[in-house]
Amino acid sequence: MSQSAGSQSTGHDRTGIDSMGMAAATVALPAQLEAALVAAEEVVGPAGSEPITNVVVLGMGGSGVAGDVISALAAPQMRVPVTVVKGYECPAFVGPHTLAIAVSFSGNTEETLETAAAAHDARASVVAVTSGGRLAELARHWGAPLYEVDGSIPMPRAAVGAISVAPLVALERAGLLSGVAGWVGATVAQLCARQDSTGAEVDSLDEIVSAIGNGEMLPVFYGGGALGVVAAGRAKAQINENAKIPAYASAMPELCHNELAGWDLAGRLIDGSPLAVIALRHDFEHPQIRRRYDFTRRVLDGARVAVPYAELRAGGDGAMAQLFDLIYQVDVLSLRIAAAARRDPGPIPLLTELKTYLASDDI
C-alpha cells in the first residue's frame, strides 16, 4: 500500500489539541523556506583568510537535523568532507581550516554552545544559525556571521526549513556550494504541489495511524540512501516529540545485514504484529536498494504474523525537493498520530524537565 501525505489538513484539527500551533507551522513550511532564503542572503560571510578543508555542523535535536540535511544534500556536491557533531565533544581535527556551523534554534543548547566555543578556540571559522540566546551573543562577540532564524516559530522541530537553508547559504558564501536558490525554489514548488493534493491517499493510512495512536502498534521507519536515512530519522523524532510515542528508524542497505533476520518471528499469533513498517522512498535510491525493499516487503508479508507495510513516496525536482517532501509528509503523519493519541504536539514537558535537571546542582 503506497501512500502520499496530502495536506488540505494535517489531521490535527480532528481533536483541536494543538496549543502551540504546530499544524499551522507545518503547513507554513514553503513560506518558511522562502523567508529563510531571503534572510540568509542578506548575511555577509563567512569570509576567512584560510582555505576551508573540512566542515563540521554542530547541533542537537530539532536543530541538529540541519546537519543531517547538509550531509545528505551538500556533502555529495562539495570537495571537502562534512562531519555532523551531536554531542559535547568537538573533533580534534577542527582547526583554522575548518568551517564550523553551529545550529541552535534557541541559542542556548548546552552541547552546541560547548562545541562552538571549542571550535572557536581552535581558530575555526564559526558561523551561527539561531534565533537568539547565548549563541547569538557569542557570534556577535566573536565577529562571526550570524544567520538569524525567525523566533516566532513555535518549536525547533517546526523550524526545519529555516535552520537548513541558512547553512546551505553559508556554504555557498564560502565557495563550497552553488545553486542554493534554485534548490529552494524547486522545494517550495513541490511542497505547494503536495499541499494542493486532495489528501485522500494519506487518509488510507488511518488504520495504522489509529493503531499507533491507541498504543496497539509502534512505527518503524525505513529509509534508503542519504535522503531516505534523513527522512527516517526525522520521522522517528517527530513521532517521539509530537505524539510522545516510541518509534524506530533503520537504514537501507544496512538493515538487510542484520535487522531483516529478526522479522521472521515478529509477534505472537494471538496478538498480531506489534510493529508497522513505513518505508520512505525517493527517486535517488540505488537500484539495489529498490530490490532490497522488494525482498523486505516479501519477508514482512510472509512472517509468522504479517507485519503491516506502507510507503510514502517523494516527488519533486531534485534532491532537496524530494527530501523536504518526505519531511513534510512524515510531519503530517506525526500530527495525525498525535491526534489519534489525543496528545498536544507542541509542549515536550519531559525534555523540559531534563533540561531543568541538568541545569541544577542535583547529582
* Residue ranges of domains in the chain: 2-17+193-340, 46-173
Give the pLDDT band of residue 306 (cuts 50, 70, 90).
confident
Cell of 280: 520512505
Query: Does the pLDDT of residue 189 top 50, yes or no?
Result: yes
Say yes or no to pLDDT of 231 above 70.
Answer: yes
DSSP code of 272? B
The helix, strand and coil proportions of the chain, stated in percent and rounded to the nearest 5, come to 50, 15, 35
Sorting pLDDT into bands at 50, 70 and 90, what band is 256?
Answer: very high
* 2-17+193-340 homologous superfamily: Glucose-6-phosphate isomerase like protein; domain 1 (3.40.50.10490)
Provide the pLDDT confidence category of residue 9 given band limits of 50, 70 and 90: low
Quickly state the pLDDT bin for 143 (edges 50, 70, 90): very high
Here the cell at position 135 is: 549563541
Domain 46-173: homologous superfamily in CATH = Glucose-6-phosphate isomerase like protein; domain 1 (3.40.50.10490)
Cell numbers 563567512 label which residue? 46
CA angle 353, 358, 363 (to 5 degrees): 110
Length of the chain: 363
> 113 versus 359: which is more confidently predicted?
113
Query: What is the pLDDT averaged over residues 154-180?
Result: 96
Phi, psi of 214 (to 5 degrees): -85, 0
The residue-averaged pLDDT of 81-92 equals 97
Identify the pLDDT of residue 7: 39
Q: In what helix (H) or strand (E) does residue 352 lie, and over which residues does it extend?
A: helix 349-359
Q: Do domains 2-17+193-340 and 46-173 have the same CATH topology?
A: yes
3-class DSSP state for residue 251?
strand
Instruction: Out of 45-54, 242-251, 335-344, pick the least confident.
Output: 45-54
| Three-state secondary structure call for residue 84 | strand
**Full-model pTM:** 0.93
Is residue 49 pLDDT above 90, yes or no?
Answer: no
Average pLDDT for residues 109-113, to the nearest whole number?
97
Contacts of 243 (CB under 8 A, 6+ apart): 212, 213, 334, 337, 338, 341, 343, 345
Residue type, 233: G
Phi first, then psi: give them for residue 316, nearest 5 degrees. Answer: 115, 165
Enter the C-alpha cell of residue 184: 529552494
